[in-house]
Amino acid sequence: MLPTNISLNNKTVLVTGAAGFIGANLVKELFRSIPAVKVVGLDNMNDYYDVSIKEYRLHEIEVLASEHSTSTWEFVQGSIADRDLVEDLFHKHKFAVVVNLAAQAGVRYSIDHPDVYIESNLIGFYNILEACRHNPVEHLVYASSSSVYGSNTKVPYSTEDKADSPVSLYAATKKSNELLAHAYSKLYNIPATGLRFFTVYGPAGRPDIAYFSFTNKLLKGETIEIFNYGNCMRDFTYVDDIVEGVKRVMLRAPEKQQGADGLPIPPHKVYNIGNSNPENLMDFVQILSDELKTSGVLPGDYDLESHCRLVPMQPGDVVATYADTQALEADMGFKPDTSLREGLRRFAQWYRNFYNT
């Protein structure tokens, strides 16, 4: 395992996408685990999905922050695509570590709304890189995605594999982030680590992700569509496992080194964070149904089969996702291990309480 070379105690951390699913959970974990830390959260609070869930997450952060008198929380509503805002924040706070989780998410949404992906995922990330260049940071950690593996057929997906065949604009923007970060690391010696997340789920997650949208539809008695006639595999990763992986990576920046030519060897790495246990979609739907019944969201006699429809593959989708996490285990001493049933149980309990079903 790599030694920690960064301390977050008494440091200032920027988390972009702080009202997002992973961002909000990361901020809460920093307050719980770091004795004294200042966290600045940036989020544009767009309405891609229900803003009330983002507001719920921010409220949870505020409550937790108020319980830790040695730490501080500052939230800024704005976009990473606003270069002046980003530059002002970096100049004002002198961030030690930056975690860029802000992005326009969603594979299918990118097919019909490409502009927002270019603005947030490319221009916005470029602004973050430029700010790190002119305001040196100890470590830039940024979100990539398992989507970068595109049409790869070799599984499990390894970071050593080529990832140059994206099947969606979203995936292309995430791969572009990795290339841009690598170039900036080489040119300006910026320690940077990209994280390829695999199908993140859990309480207060994104309503556009299958487990959440399926729940909404089943509760209304609507029919859910299961792509590729149910013959898809997904490496579902519980959000707490994702956050633990991100936190460990934050503390271990790639070391700066000089090459034989006297120029920096790019201090840049990429890791997969996934559960390494892909689940068949039909099994996933059955487990979700079981836990929704147990939690009381759905009645015990709910007829799941009559509310499922098998449909062909959709543009931008892939048949399977499966993470090879050997590098994460070796370098960070961590392997995600929350079972799908346990994770969906926690989601179902949260859903019941949040929506008062």
Tokens 């956050």 sit at which residue?
243
Which residues are annotated as catalytic?
170
Backbone angles phi, psi at 143, to 5 degrees: -80, 125
pLDDT for 357 beyond 80: no
Beta bridge partners of 16: 42, 100
pLDDT in tens, 250-304: 999 999 999 888 888 999 999 999 999 999 999 999 999 999 999 999 999 999 9
- Rounded to an integer, what distance in angstroms lies between the CA atom of residue 65 and that of residue 31? 7
- Rounded to an integer, what distance in angstroms lies between the CA atom of residue 179 and that of residue 126? 11
In the structure, what pLDDT confidence band is assigned to residue 211 with cuts at 50, 70 and 90?
A: very high
Does residue 275 contact residue 336 with C-beta atoms inside 8 Å?
yes
Domains and CATH numbers, the chain: 11-201+239-275+323-338 (3.40.50.720)
- Rounded to an integer, what distance in angstroms lies between the CA atom of residue 217 and that of residue 356? 16
On the 0-12 / 13-18 / 19+ scale of CB atoms within 10 A, 99 is buried
Q: How far is CA 42 from the centre of its chain?
A: 15
Single-letter amino acid, residue 228: N
Single-letter amino acid, residue 51: V
- Cα–Cα separations (whole angstroms), residue 327 to 40, 208, 245: 30, 30, 12
Q: Coil, strand, or helix at residue 135?
A: coil
pLDDT for 187 beyond 90: yes
In the structure, what pLDDT confidence band is assigned to residue 314 with cuts at 50, 70 and 90?
A: confident
Longest dimension (CA), the chain: 70
pLDDT for 151 beyond 90: no
- Return the structure tokens found at 252: 């271990």
- Rounded to an integer, what distance in angstroms lies between the CA atom of residue 66 and that of residue 64? 5
* Cα dihedral 44, 47, 50, 55 in deg (nearest 10): 20
Positive or negative, the CA dihedral 287, 235, 244, 109 is negative
Q: Give the per-residue pLDDT at 230.
A: 83
Q: Give the per-residue pLDDT at 261.
A: 85
Does residue 197 contact residue 145 with C-beta atoms inside 8 Å?
yes
- Average pLDDT score over residue span 225-254: 95
pLDDT for 133 beyond 80: yes
